[in-house]
Amino acid sequence: MGRYVIRRLLQFIPTVLGTMFLLHYMTSLAIQFSGNPVRALFGDRTPPPALLEAITERLGYGDPCLSQKGNWCIGLFGDRLQSVFFHFDFGINLRQREVTDLVADALPFTLKLLVIAILFEAVVGIAAGVLAGLRGGSFTDYLVKISTVFIISVPIFVLGVVVREFVGVKFGNVLRGQDWIPDVISTGMFSPGFKPDYPFASLIIPGMVLGAVSLATTARLTRTSIMENIRADYVRTAKAKGLTNKRVIGVHTLRNSLIPVITFLGVDIGAAMAGAVVTETIFNVPGIGRLVTMSARTGESSVVVGVVTMLVLVVLVANLLVDLLYAVLDPRIRYE
Amino acid sequence: MRGKFLKVAVVATATAMLATACGGGGSNDETAGKSGGTLRVYNAEPAFLTPSGGDDEPSLYVIRQLYRGLVKYNAQTSAVENDLAESVESTDQKLWTIKLKSGYTFDNGEPVNADAFIRSWNFAAYSPNAQNNGYFMKRIAGIKDVQSTDPDGDGPEKAPEPKAKELAGLKKVDDLTFTVELEAPFSGFPTTIGYPGFFPMAEACVADIAKCNETPIGNGPYKIDGNWQHNVAINLVRSDSWKGDAGKPDRIEYRIFADVDAGYAAFQGGELDVMYTVPPARYKEAKATYGDRMFELAGDSFTYVGFPLYMDEFKDKKVRQALSLAIDRQSIIDAVFDGRFAPASSFVAPSFEGARPDVCKYCQKDVEKAKQLLAEAGGWPAGKKLTLWANAGAGHDQWLQAVGDQIKAALNIDYELKVNLQFAEYLETADKKKFTGPFRLGWGPDYPFMETFLYPLYGTGAGSNNSGYSNAQFDELMKAGDSAASMQAAIPSYQQAEDILGEELPVIPMWWRKEAAIYSENVDQFVWNAVADADYGATSLKQN
A163 and A54 in a single domain? The answer is no
B310 shares contact with chain A (CB less than 8 Å): no
Residue (of A280, A218, A286, A230) closest to A255 by Cα position:
A230
8 Å CB contact between B370 and B508: no
CB-CB: which of A40, A51, A59 is closest to B423?
A40
Task: Give the residue, B320 or A48, on which the prediction is more confident.
Answer: B320
Cβ within 8 Å of B, A 200-239: 200-204
Residue (of B207, B299, B223) closest to B66 by Cα position:
B223
Has residue A185 been placed in a domain?
yes
β-pair partners for B66: none
| pTM for the structure as a whole | 0.85
Has residue A126 been placed in a domain?
yes
Has residue A329 been placed in a domain?
no
Task: Give the residue, A333 or B7, on which the prediction is more confident.
Answer: A333
- The fraction of chain A above a pLDDT of 70, given in percent, is 100
Confidence check: pLDDT of A166 > 70: yes
Q: What is the pLDDT of residue B6?
A: 43
Q: How far is B379 from chain A (nearest CA, A)?
A: 32
Domain ranges of chain B: 2-273+520-541, 299-513
8 Å CB contact between B32 and B267: no
8 Å CB contact between A247 and A235: no
Helix A254-282 / helix A301-329 crossing angle, nearest 10 deg: 170
CB-CB: which of B233, B442, B456 is closest to A196?
B233
Alpha helices by DSSP H, listed for A169-200, are 172-176, 183
Q: Which residue of B has its CA nearest to A282?
A: B262
In the 8-state DSSP scheme, what is residue B441? E
Confidence check: pLDDT of B26 > 70: no
> Given CA atoms B425, B431, B437, B440 in this order, what sign does their dihedral have?
positive
Q: Do B464 and A45 touch (CB under 8 A)?
A: yes
**B536 CB neighbour count, 10 Å cutoff:** 27
A314 shares contact with chain B (CB less than 8 Å): no
Name the maximum alpha-carbon separation found in chain A: 86
Residue (of B180, B169, B177) closest to B90 by Cα position:
B180
Q: pLDDT category, B1, cuts 50, 70, 90?
A: very low
Q: pLDDT category, A67, cuts 50, 70, 90?
A: confident
Mutate to test the interface with A, among B208, B227, B259, B420 (most CBs of A within 10 A): B259
Topology classification of domain B2-273+520-541: D-Maltodextrin-Binding Protein; domain 2 (3.40.190)
CB-CB: which of B5, B24, B259 is closest to A183?
B24
End-to-end CA distance of chain A: 5
Q: How many domains does chain A have?
A: 2
8 Å CB contact between B297 and B528: yes
Confidence check: pLDDT of B111 > 90: yes
A215 and A286 in a single domain? The answer is yes
Has residue A260 been placed in a domain?
yes
CB-CB: which of B24, B229, B427 is closest to A188?
B24
Confidence check: pLDDT of B21 > 80: no
Residue (of A303, A286, A307) closest to A295 by Cα position:
A303
A52 and A201 in a single domain? The answer is no
Edge-to-edge order in the sheet of strand B170-174: B85-90, B95-100, B177-181, B170-174
Q: pLDDT category, A179, cuts 50, 70, 90?
A: confident
Q: How far apart are CA A305 and CA A99, in angstroms?
A: 10
Q: How far apart are CA B27 and CA A186, in angstroms?
A: 14
Last residue of a domain, one of A43, A61, A87: A87
Q: What is the pLDDT of residue B14?
A: 43
Q: Do A54 and B147 touch (CB under 8 A)?
A: yes
Has residue A321 been placed in a domain?
no
Confidence check: pLDDT of B28 > 60: no
8 Å CB contact between B20 and B235: no
Mutate to test the interface with B, among A28, A46, A76, A181 (most CBs of B within 10 A): A46
Q: Do A168 and B135 touch (CB under 8 A)?
A: no
Has residue A92 been placed in a domain?
no
Q: How far is B86 from chain A (nearest CA, A)?
A: 31
Q: What is the pLDDT of residue B153?
A: 53
B281 shares contact with chain A (CB less than 8 Å): no
* DSSP assignment string, A93-162: -TTS-BHHHHHHHHHHHHHHHHHHHHHHHHHHHHHHHHHHHHTTTSHHHHHHHHHHHHHHHS-HHHHHHH
For residue A41, the chain B residues in CB contact (below 8 A) are 47, 132
Cβ within 8 Å of B, A 136-165: 161, 164-165
Ramachandran category for residue B103: left, alpha or beta (phi over 0 → left; psi -120 to 50 → alpha): left
Q: What is the pLDDT of residue A221?
A: 93
Q: What is the pLDDT of residue B9?
A: 44
- The residue-averaged pLDDT of B464-490 equals 93
Q: How far apart are CA B256 and CA B279, in angstroms?
A: 15
Q: What is the mean pLDDT of chain A?
A: 88
B257 shares contact with chain A (CB less than 8 Å): yes
Q: pLDDT category, B152, cuts 50, 70, 90?
A: low
Cβ within 8 Å of A, B 382-441: 421-428, 430-431, 441
A165 and A285 in a single domain? The answer is yes
Q: What is the pLDDT of residue B11?
A: 43
- The residue-averaged pLDDT of A17-30 equals 90
Return all residues near B214 (Cβ < 8 A) that are at least 6 apart: B49, B227, B228
Domain with A46 in it: 2-87
Q: Do B159 and A50 touch (CB under 8 A)?
A: yes
Number of C-alpha atoms within 13 angstroms, CB side, residue A250? 7
For residue A104, the chain B residues in CB contact (below 8 A) are none
A123 and A241 in a single domain? The answer is yes
Q: How far is CA B531 from CA B73, B132, B297, B480, B528, in A?
A: 7, 20, 12, 25, 9
A136 and A258 in a single domain? The answer is yes
β-pair partners for B99: B87, B177
Q: Do B135 and A47 touch (CB under 8 A)?
A: yes
CB-CB: which of B262, B421, B443 is closest to A282?
B262
For residue range A301-330, what is the model confidence (pLDDT) as tens digits?
888 888 888 888 888 888 888 888 877 777
Q: Which residue of A has its CA nearest to B392?
A: A34
CATH number of A245's domain: 1.10.3720.10
Q: Do B428 and A41 touch (CB under 8 A)?
A: no
Confidence check: pLDDT of B207 > 60: yes
Range with lowest mean pLDDT among A73-77, A143-147, B178-182, B190-194: A73-77
Confidence check: pLDDT of B260 > 80: yes
Q: pLDDT category, A336, cuts 50, 70, 90?
A: low
Q: What is the pLDDT of residue B83?
A: 94
**CATH C-level class of B299-513:** alpha beta
Confidence check: pLDDT of B36 > 80: no
Q: What is the pLDDT of residue B92?
A: 92
Q: How far is B358 from chain A (nearest CA, A)?
A: 25
A134 shares contact with chain B (CB less than 8 Å): yes
A7 and A113 in a single domain? The answer is no
Domain B299-513 in the same topology as domain B2-273+520-541? no
Confidence check: pLDDT of A204 > 90: yes
B6 shares contact with chain A (CB less than 8 Å): no
A61 and A164 in a single domain? The answer is no
What φ, ψ does residue A135 adopt, rounded to 5°?
Answer: -125, 75
Confidence check: pLDDT of B371 > 60: yes
A108 and A254 in a single domain? The answer is yes
- The residue-averaged pLDDT of B18-38 equals 42
A75 and A105 in a single domain? The answer is no
For residue A134, the chain B residues in CB contact (below 8 A) are 1
Last residue of a domain, one of A87, A122, A151: A87
Q: How far is B156 from chain A (nearest CA, A)?
A: 8
Q: What is the pLDDT of residue B71?
A: 95
Confidence check: pLDDT of A296 > 80: yes
Q: pLDDT category, B544, cuts 50, 70, 90?
A: low
Q: How far is A315 from chain B (nearest CA, A)?
A: 25
Q: What is the pLDDT of residue B2?
A: 41
Q: pLDDT category, A63, cuts 50, 70, 90?
A: confident
| Interior/surface letters B425-463, b for 16+ CB within 10 angstroms, e for the rest | bbbbbbbeeebebbbbbebbbbbbbbbbbbbbbbbeebb
Has residue A335 been placed in a domain?
no
Mutate to test the interface with A, among B268, B439, B466 (most CBs of A within 10 A): B268
Q: How far is A5 from chain B (nearest CA, A)?
A: 35
The type of residue at A289 is G
- The residue-averaged pLDDT of B130-134 equals 88
Q: How far is CA B104 from CA B69, B111, B179, in A?
A: 11, 6, 19
Has residue A135 been placed in a domain?
yes
- The residue-averaged pLDDT of A180-205 equals 90
Return all residues near B517 (Cβ < 8 A) that are at least 6 apart: B274, B275, B276, B277, B278, B294, B295, B526, B528, B534
CB-CB: which of B23, B130, B463 is closest to A46?
B463
Q: What is the pLDDT of residue A298?
A: 78
A73 and A108 in a single domain? The answer is no
CB-CB: which of A43, A96, A290 is closest to B258?
A290
- For residue B427, the surrounding DSSP H or E stretch is helix B423-431
CB-CB: which of A41, A46, A290 is closest to B464?
A46
A247 shares contact with chain B (CB less than 8 Å): no
The type of residue at B478 is M
A81 and A105 in a single domain? The answer is no
